[in-house]
Structure 1
Amino acid sequence: MVNVRRAGQAPDLGTAETDPRTRDRVLAAVSQHGPISAARIAADLGLTPPGVRRHLDQLAADGVVEDREPAAGKRGRGRPAREWVVTEAGHDVLPAGYDVLAADAVRFLREAAGDDAVTDFARSRVARLEERYADEIDAAGEDPAARTEALVAALRRDGYAATARPVGAGGLTGVQLCQGHCPVQHVASEFPELCDAETEAFSRLLGVHVQRLATLAQGDHVCTTFVPTPSPAPPPSSTHRPPTTRERRSR
């Protein structure tokens, strides 16, 4: 269902500005209209300038956008608003027409060499990911939750918009790892082997068996993976022995 915002109605900050896809929309706006200010992006996307600036600051921290002073003809009184442009690294993460090419290549691989070849390709691809991430995750220690946080940091650098939060109660506790962006989403919708191989790689990196609950490729709003963590140990129980008859008499 599409939410239509009436003229003059404030945007729903609980959905629009926290939607994992909003960051991609901000980046697309900079790509299409840059140099562009945060206020202009906010007006075009129906968001608030502070919300847009938060996304821009994160994109700048990731190295995909940068700010610059406005051209002399645009300067007015007071402090000039920063204008944003996409960096060279940012152009690398923007969609180009490679989804179609990649799907065609994997489709040809399946037709020429069979399903096993696609599986081998998917595992080979994530093997390189494992190799890049392994040392950083190992440095986080043995705790699955700490290792998941390290994995989140690594995934963010690769443009996956990853987050993690604790979930569960009682006997089943864990961490929910979410990825709001996937560079191979459209190809994986036809070739789920890519998602399966990534899930297997997460299990190996984190040292526990993880469970994939949802994927962007299947039409969900976010890729969600459950990472089990050890339940807190119960407090030691104190054993109470009723006093014997002799002990009661001696009191």
Structure 2
Amino acid sequence: MQHVEAGAEQSTRARVARLILEHGPIAAAALGERLGLTPAAVRRHLDALLTDGMIEPRTARTRVQRGRGRPARMFAITDAGRSAFEHAYDDLAGSALRFLAQRQGEDAVGDFARSQMAALVERLAPAMREVPADQRVRVLAEALSAEGYAASASKPRVGGEQLCQHHCPVSHVAAAFPQLCEAETEAFAELLGTPVQRLATIAHGDGVCTTHVSPPQLSEAMNRNKSKESGR
């Protein structure tokens, strides 16, 4: 019986945290109204989430009679709280891919990964075609940052460029399914129009996902050679 009660308590607490994630900053009274909880129950869950570092208090001002204002305590999700939800999504995605692999085989996972990346390519390709070749890595980094990858571009001494992703929303899933990283690398090559090579990945324990991008001149030379060979 105690185990059932504890499970129900955790379930309700997760609902409180999710509501704060989706609608925060939000006041305790609003949480109670949306979830049908008593003020005492809301305070109990909020105190536990505060102790765990999942949420943090904020102060807002609300208007009351005669134009006076009083501070209202609001609650917002923290980075730790947001990460906890990301891990939950990772678990669901990982389970879905394992199910797909068991039912349809490993090739099906690769097909799924490429279909996901195809959507990214379709979305970015028109803009990338308008960008000069020597600016494409920078523009791709900016586009990836907008997608949540915290990406940057740099030019190492050895030639070519490096595309670095300092955050990977699917790193836990990619650790079990490298097809996700492989499909992403293929998409980068298509968008940049030049060969690329993955040097490091967060999924494999590296601090940053690093991709070496060959100089555009290399791609042009390869295309010329292919044309010559096909004309023989």
Alignment gaps of 5+ in structure 1: 1-28, 37-67, 75-82, 232-251
**Among residues 157, 172, 176, which one is paired with 1:168 in the alignment?**
157
The alignment status of 1:215 with 2:201, answered yes or no, reads yes
Instruction: State the alpha-carbon separation in 1 of the partners of residues 75 and 210 from structure 2.
Output: 32
2:55 aligned partner: 33
1:192 aligned partner: 178
How many residues are aligned here? 157
Deviation at 1:102, TM superposition (A): 0.7
Q: Deviations over 1:71-130 (max 9, x none)?
A: 7448xxxxxxxx9956xxxx7995151111111110111111111111111110100011
1:159 aligned partner: 148
Instruction: State the alpha-carbon separation in 2 of the partners of residues 130 and 225 from structure 1.
Output: 17
SS in 2 for 1:34: strand
Instruction: State the alpha-carbon separation in 1 of the partners of residues 140 and 216 from structure 2.
Output: 18
Deviation at 1:213, TM superposition (A): 0.1
1:225 aligned partner: 211
Contact 1:136–1:150 (Cα < 8 Å) also in 2: no
Instruction: State the alpha-carbon separation in 2 of the partners of residues 215 and 73 from structure 1.
Output: 46
Name the aligned partner's letter for residue 141 of structure 2.
V
Deviation at 1:178, TM superposition (A): 0.5
Kindly report the root-mean-square deviation, in angstroms, between the aligned alpha carbons of the 2 structures: 3.1
Contact 2:165–2:208 (Cα < 8 Å) also in 1: yes
Alignment gaps of 5+ in structure 2: 1-49, 63-69, 218-232
2:111 aligned partner: 120
Q: Deviations over 1:134-187 (max 9, x none)?
A: 12212212x2x4011111111011100101111124xxx111111011111111
- The 1:168/1:100 distance shift into structure 2, 3 A limit, reads same
Instruction: State the alpha-carbon separation in 1 of the partners of residues 57 and 128 from structure 2.
Output: 38
- The 1:132/1:84 distance shift into structure 2, 3 A limit, reads farther
Contact 1:152–1:163 (Cα < 8 Å) also in 2: yes
Deviation at 1:195, TM superposition (A): 0.2
Contact 1:93–1:159 (Cα < 8 Å) also in 2: no
TM-score normalised by structure 2 residue count: 0.60
Percent identity over paired residues: 47
- The 1:147/1:107 distance shift into structure 2, 3 A limit, reads same
2:166 aligned partner: 180
SS in 1 for 2:211: strand
1:111-150 map, 5 Å: 111-141=102-132, 143=133, 145-150=134-139
Instruction: State the alpha-carbon separation in 2 of the partners of residues 179 and 93 from structure 1.
Output: 21
